[in-house]
Chains A and B, each alone.
Chain A
Amino acid sequence: MNRDSRATVVFNRAGLILSRSGWTLGVWLLLLALLIWYANLIPRFGEFQITSISKNSLPLVYLALGQAIIVIAGGIDLSLGALLLLSNAIAARFMADQPFGAVLVIALLLIGLVAFLNGMTGYVIRLSGVPDIVVTLATSYIWSGLALWILPSPGGGTAPEFRWLFTGSESGIGGTYVLPVLMMIIPATVVFLLSRRTRLGLSMYAVGSDSNIASLAGLGVTRAKVASYALGGALAALAGLATVAITGTGDPRFSVGANATLNSVAAVVLGGIALTGGTGLVLGVVAAGMILIMLNPILSAMGINPNNAQILQGVLIAIVMMIGGLVTLIRERRT
């Protein structure tokens, strides 16, 4: 191969990466732009603000990663917010006044438990053929009811070291940003590698793209479906754990879970993952989650009337969704 053709190959590959991951890149650039804009809006910008944004983003980023995997595999999970609620309630109830070691054991057990529960949900969906939306809507009421039963009113607690792990500070505020950023990068990397580098992950894409063809091709459709729901559940549990670390308490209120579910879907769409399944990179979802979290302080710093802020937030998400649809349409026409 001569130098010229090698250069062409590299150039073509770069072009391919850009066209395939252009949306992901765009979302990260948007986040960067928003960060710089926000930094100029407020009088001081330093470690406090970076820590604040990164740690407050954790629950939504985890939840959105979980939703992303499930959507990629062709499903959608309306119970993720309720699972966040459930794991938040269990964690706050049983971690209170426990030493760090015990808290870590509880955390791991909880991730396993919620992954199992949601894996079962995936299995039921696959087995019964009832649409994902219907089954997960039903389970969302079960999980949020269970959360209220376990923790009837806000309360509970966790170990200070556990709060440090997610927030960089034992009091949950004003710590180093290294930990929350790491706690964001590590799970995101694991989920990304799992989805793009393993047979299981690629089979999720295949199943999400067309489950009949995937089945004919000899791929384990049930396995992919159950695995995607289990992974989504594990990430929802992680989101609940991050919530207890940030607040130091549990809050079993239904509205908290419902909001979280809607935000996770918004982040998935904004992150460039088509709700039809089978496409998209989970990395875009990380930036999208952070963008959604940053909208509130930015709108408030811009002096936008709080009653209009919600409208504006909705309009922004709608615009992004429409742009996403337009991009897909243009791409489909081209091919």
Chain B
Amino acid sequence: MQVKSKLFLLLGLLMVVALAAAGCALPMETEEPAPEEAADAPEGGFVIGVSNTLVGNGWREQMICAIKAEATASGMVDEVIVVNRNGGPTEQIADLEGLISQGVDAIILNPTDREGLNAVIEAAIAQGIVVVAVDQAVTAEGAYVATNDQTAYARLGAEWLFETLGGSGKVVEMRGIDGVPADTDRHNGFMEALANYPDIEVVASTFTGWDPSTGAQQALDLITTQEIDGIWTSGIDYPVVEQFQVADKPFVPIVGADNNGFVAQLLDLADDGLVGAAVTNPPAIGAVGTSIAIDALLGNNPPHETILTPKVFATDNTDGLNAIYAPDEQVGWSTYVDIEPFTHYNGSADVSACKAPGE
């Protein structure tokens, strides 16, 4: 028994020593007189931290690449530190604390929670770090927020669809994931538009899970069993168009996102009677956030809230569609990457290269 108690004491002591040694033996906070706060009007050389908690998602990866591309194009950034792993608020809080510890000048995050991160964000701001939440909002005081207007995304697309159908017909609403804020916002926008068109009938509403194969299967079931005049999708668009070809059915007007595959179909299949509209939901919102962060670091006091209103590129706007089409990219690539006046890189090619400064 004595042996064990000694061993326990030893381990207890070791833990205390470990923490104490780490705390004392090394450069402490007092050594650095926080130069970035003393000097007003810094001129570049910034370090930007990025926190993302959904790995392997095309949209999110493009968002990170847009951040890197904009950081490079700005010429103001020395380094981009990306912390990218799957997780919830617990993991993101740890990641944000890690970025604060690394002494970054700005943090760009795609938040997992509206309120849960506020304390750590406010702690970062208190240390003079500029914090920009992109894609989804946070309520932290002093944080910058840059989002795509999801309600308008659905409303503008639905309005285009209902107008194209002449105000009457049977439509399908293909949603994303039930309960996700973006899906709820989009559904609200869809309903807003629907309220103004009493002769439009929603004959089916599905949840695609934003999964191409799920959406394709649902679309095939719908178009082979029901009479449909138009389809609104929450971004699962090109697989749905393909199902019309598979089932050998005439196209109906369809609304999708600015996915490269869909944009290509709108251009190529226009002669075969495809009518549709691509509504933008740019992951380049990350680049917008980067631009805002740099502006704030330079002391230009940008507005704290930036909401991008989506753009609608319909089949009658061939020039517009040609301008955003990126022939070298994958079908899932979001083609709308140049967002005035925020981005400075050179189109999809720069974003796709995904190079941070010094890489």
CB pair B179 A21 closer than 8 Å: no
Evaluate contact between A36 and B123: CB separation under 8 angstroms.
no
State whether the Cβ of A328 lies closer than 8 Å to any Cβ in chain B: no
B94 an interface residue at 8 Å Cβ cutoff? Answer: yes
A43 touches B97 (CB 8 A): no
As a 0/1 sequence over residues 54 to 98 of chain B, the CB contacts with chain A under 8 angstroms (1 = contact) are 010000000000000000000000000111111111100111011
A-chain residues with CB within 8 Å of residue B112 when the two chains form the complex: 154, 251
Verify A173–B120 contact, CB threshold 8 A: yes
* The one of B4, B12, B115 that contacts A197, using a Cβ cutoff of 8 Å: B4
Tell me, in angstroms, the Cα distance from A287 to B18 when the chains sit together. Answer: 11
Q: Is the CB of B28 within 8 A of A56?
A: no
The answer, yes or no, to whether A279 is at the interface (CB within 8 Å) is no
Alpha-carbon gap, A56 to B96, bound state (A): 12
Give chain A residues whose Cβ lies under 8 Å from the Cβ of B179. Answer: 152-153
A306 at the interface (CB under 8 A from B): yes
A185 close to B (CB within 8 Å): yes
- Also in contact, A56 and B85, with CB within 8 A (given A44-B101, A248-B116): no
Contact of A300 with B81 at beta-carbon distance under 8 Å, contacts A24-B11, A28-B14, A44-B27 already known: yes
Let me know if B116 and A52 touch, CB within 8 A.
no
**How distant is the Cα of A216 from the Cα of B209 in the complex, in angstroms?**
55
Q: How far is the CA of A43 from the CA of B33 in the complex (A)?
A: 12
Q: Could you tell me if A306 and B100 are in contact, using CB atoms closer than 8 angstroms?
A: no
Other-chain contact of A283, B11, B83, B87 (Cβ < 8 Å): B11
Give bound CA distance, A196 to B86, whole Å: 37
- The reply to whether A256 and B90 contact each other, CB–CB distance below 8 Å, is yes
The answer to the question of A255 belonging to the interface, with a C-beta cut-off of 8 Å to chain B, is yes
A48-B100, A153-B179, A297-B101 known; A36 vs B94 contact (CB < 8 Å): no
Assess whether A222 is interfacial by the CB under 8 Å rule: no
Q: Assuming A185-B12, A259-B87, is B113 touching A249 (CB within 8 A)?
A: yes
Residues A103-125 near B (CB distance < 8 A) = none
Rounded to whole angstroms, the CA-CA distance of A66 and B19 in the bound complex is 24
B28 x A43 contact (CB < 8 A): no
CB distance from A24 to the nearest CB of B (A): 7
B3 touches A36 (CB 8 A): no
- A185 & B32 in contact (Cβ 8 Å cutoff): no
Main secondary structure on A side of the interface with B: helix
Are A44 and B29 in contact, with the CB atoms below 8 A? yes
**Shortest Cβ distance from A260 into B: residue:** B90
Residue pair A173, B27 in contact (C-beta under 8 Å): no
- Across-interface contacts of B4 in A (CB, < 8 A): 196-197
Interface residues as binary, B6-24 with A (CB distance below 8 Å gives 1, 0 otherwise): 1110111011011101110
When the two chains form their complex, are residues B7 and A45 in contact, meaning their CB atoms are under 8 A apart? no
Name the CB-closest residue of B to A248: B116
- Interface status of A296 (Cβ within 8 A of chain B): yes
Question: In the complex the two chains form, is B89's CB within 8 Å of A44's CB?
Answer: no
B103 interface hit (Cβ, 8 Å):
yes
Which residue on B lies nearest to A40, using beta carbons? B26
Q: Are A154 and B113 in contact (CB-based, < 8 A)? A: yes
Residue A174 CB within 8 A of the other chain: yes
User: A32–B17 contact, CB under 8 A?
Assistant: yes
Cα distance A14–B159 when bound, in Å? Answer: 80
Q: Which of A36, A253, A286 contacts B25 (CB 8 A)?
A: A36
A271 within 8 A of B: no
Are the C-beta atoms of A177 and B19 separated by less than 8 Å?
Answer: yes
Complex Cα distance A255/B3, Å?
42
Does B247 sit within 8 A of A, measured CB to CB? Answer: no
Complex Cα spacing A182 to B23, Å: 17
Query: Does A47 belong to the interface (CB within 8 Å)?
Result: yes
Question: Chain B residues near A56 (CB, 8 Å)?
Answer: 90, 93-94, 97
Contact, CB under 8 Å: B93 / A247: yes
B168 within 8 A of A: no
Q: Is the CB of B26 within 8 A of A39?
A: yes
Given A36-B25, A296-B95, A248:B115 Cβ within 8 A: yes
Q: CB of A192 within 8 A of chain B?
A: yes
B54 to A, closest residue via Cβ: A255
Smallest CB separation, A248 vs chain B (Å)? 6
Tell me if A68 is interfacial: C-beta within 8 Å of chain B. no
Q: Report the nearest A residue to B26, measured CB to CB.
A: A39
Q: Find residues 106-160 in chain B having any chain A CB closer than 8 Å to their own CB.
A: 112-113, 115-116, 119-120, 122-123
B100 and A251 form a contact (CB under 8 A): no
Q: A35-B18, A50-B23 are in contact. Are A173 and B115 (CB under 8 A)?
A: no
- Report whether B94 and A52 are in contact in the complex, using a CB–CB cutoff of 8 Å: yes
| A45:B116 contact, CB within 8 angstroms | no
Bound: A197/B18 CA distance, A: 26
A79 interfacial contact with B, CB 8 Å: no
Contact among B11, B22, B28 with A44 in the assembled complex (CB-CB below 8 Å): B28
Contacts of B21 in A (CB 8 A): 32, 35-36
A36 and B26 contact, CB distance less than 8 A: yes
Q: In the complex, which residue of chain B has the Cβ closest to the Cβ of A32?
A: B18
Interface CB pairs A-B, < 8 A, 18 = A16-B3, A28-B14, A35-B19, A48-B101, A52-B101, A56-B97, A171-B122, A249-B89, A255-B86, A255-B88, A296-B83, A296-B95, A300-B98, A301-B102, A306-B82, A306-B83, A306-B84, A310-B85
- Extra 8 A-B pairs, beta carbons < 8 Å, given A297-B101, A309-B85: A21-B7, A25-B14, A42-B101, A45-B27, A46-B28, A172-B120, A296-B83, A300-B95
Nearest 3 pairs of A and B residues by beta carbon: A297-B98, A306-B84, A171-B119
Residues on A lying within 8 angstroms of B by beta carbon are: 13, 16-17, 21, 24-25, 28-29, 31-32, 35-36, 38-40, 42-50, 52, 54, 56, 59, 152-154, 169, 171-174, 177, 181, 185, 189, 192, 196-197, 243, 246-249, 251, 253, 255-256, 259, 283, 286-287, 293, 296-297, 300-301, 303, 306-307, 309-310
